[in-house]
Amino acid sequence: MAILANRLTEEQYRENFSDIHPPFETMDAAAVEANRCLFCYDAPCMKSCPTSIDVPKFIKQISTQNIKGSAHTIFSSNIMGAGCSKVCPVEKLCEGACVYNLMDEDPIPIAKLQRYSTEMAMEKKWQLFKRKESTGKKVAIVGAGPAGLSCAHVLSREGIDVTIYEKEKLGGGLMTYGIAAYKVTPQFCKDEVDYILSIGGISIKYGQELGKDVTIESLQKDYDAVYLAIGVGLARQLEIPGENLHGVVDAISFIYDIRDNGFSKVPVGDKVAVIGMGMTAIDAATQAKRLGAKEVTMLYRRTQEEMPCTEVELDIAKLDGCNIIWLAAPKEVMGENGNVKALVAEKMKLGEPDASGRRSPVSTGEIFTLDVDMVIKAAGQTPFTQLVDAMSVKNKSGKIQVDGQSTNLKGVFAGGDCVNGGKEVVDAVQAGKDGAKAIINFLV
């Protein structure tokens, strides 16, 4: 057993990481589905979208071949509408609410239709928004992820000049660095950021990390307002023995490496254990398999009833041949010569519901061992506690506390994962819009 890179041929990588949800190939194909849409009033799909995209309207616009109008409808509510069409868990959002579900009919493929319009807009470089005349106001945004970009776009439209400070070398945040490559390609993420920036009035300074390369005080001094959209970063530790052995990686770094280095450069074990059952856990497990791991086993402390990922995501993992062990908690990573050799876990049972209403896992004392050479931790991410503490930003366990969108610091606003602890891309986009609105109110 060994952890190796370059397990597959270029062709195998291409096949394994090809688009999992292929787009409509033709206008006719999109029109068939667009014409199925009932054009609901006060539509459940729209109400189930965190950014409230007017879904019936944009679909109607596809059916009338007003694709430019359709893209404008989507981007007006969600400037990352193209990326969201690929990564949103639509089965629990818009498509899950589609009234066709109540007729036991397949819902309208809203994401696929959204992708049709938004990708055409990006491909044809339609400039659908015009900046208002410059107001002379300047805003600094920290983080070029979904929340930061969404906030920046709204501000720019209103004639406010925006500078984004981004610690990575690319924009897009978790869209670029934290999502499986078969959902969004690195090229797409780059194109999406470029498309958002094409409105003008937004500049991104890359390689600028808050607290290291730039301070909150200087931003407060140099800008009329500051928006913190720094996300969450660190993978939650398992707090078990053996966590520092070679072969234990966190899912976010693993996914980041796939996006950053390329498929053949990312080492993966023969037998991989993935801890957790959220979207990130699924993305890590499926990609480990697609990189050539022989066996991937996912462990989750609770049951399928409580899992954070959707059924659709679970099915991807199952179809990729990942094993699932429900009611299992990691106890120790065993090593040999500093390398992972096995994972020891305990069987759990469900106890009383916790604060979140989910039933808590309770120890049974029954122990089992999995022979593995790699352990991927996907038990959630933790906020940048030290960073926000150092800035004297009021927070709760690192999650920034806001009143509306304002922090306790004057002229400093915050939103997205750094406030809510980590939600979907689409939630971050909405947070960015809300933040921009609060900033505009503050500035005028």
Give contact residues for another protein (rule: CB under 8 A). 31-32, 34-36, 38-45, 47-48, 63, 97, 99-100, 102-103
For residue 299, what are its two tokens? Answer: 């462990």
Which residue from 188, 163, 165, 166 is spatially nearest to 175, judged by alpha carbons? 188
Closest distance to another protein from the beta carbon of 74 (Å): 19
| Residues forming beta bridges with residue 361, ordered by sequence position | 350
Closest distance to another protein from the beta carbon of 436 (Å): 25
Closer residue to another protein (CB): 35 or 364: 35
For residue 201, what are its two tokens? Answer: 């009035």
Could you identify the residue written with the tokens 């208002």? 132
State the distance between the two ends of the chain, measured CA to CA, in whole angstroms: 63
Closest distance to another protein from the beta carbon of 318 (Å): 28
Could you identify the residue written with the tokens 């049974």? 364
- Please tell me the distance from the alpha carbon of residue 402 to that of residue 415, in angstroms, as a whole number: 8
Three-class DSSP category at 275: strand
Q: What is the biggest distance separating any 2 CA atoms in the chain, rounded to whole angstroms?
A: 68
Closest distance to another protein from the beta carbon of 389 (Å): 37
Closest distance to another protein from the beta carbon of 67 (Å): 14
Closer residue to another protein (CB): 34 or 252: 34
β-pairing verdict for 323-325 and 295-299: parallel
User: Counting Cβ atoms within 10 Å, is residue 339 exposed (0-12), middle (13-18) or buried (19+)?
Assistant: middle
Closest distance to another protein from the beta carbon of 433 (Å): 19
Closest distance to another protein from the beta carbon of 100 (Å): 8
Closer residue to another protein (CB): 39 or 206: 39
Closest distance to another protein from the beta carbon of 69 (Å): 15
Closer residue to another protein (CB): 373 or 424: 424
Closer residue to another protein (CB): 64 or 386: 64
- Please tell me the distance from the alpha carbon of residue 315 to that of residue 311, in angstroms, as a whole number: 6
Closer residue to another protein (CB): 59 or 179: 59
Closer residue to another protein (CB): 9 or 35: 35
- Please tell me the distance from the alpha carbon of residue 393 to that of residue 2, in angstroms, as a whole number: 45
Give start and end residues of each alpha helix (H) in 247-381: 251-261, 279-290, 311-319
Closer residue to another protein (CB): 36 or 72: 36
Closer residue to another protein (CB): 2 or 103: 103
- Please tell me the distance from the alpha carbon of residue 31 to that of residue 59, in angstroms, as a whole number: 9
Phi, psi of 305 (to 5 degrees): -55, -40
Closest distance to another protein from the beta carbon of 441 (Å): 26
215 Cβ contact list (under 8 Å, min separation 6):
none
Which residue from 291, 324, 283 is spatially nearest to 425, judged by alpha carbons? 283
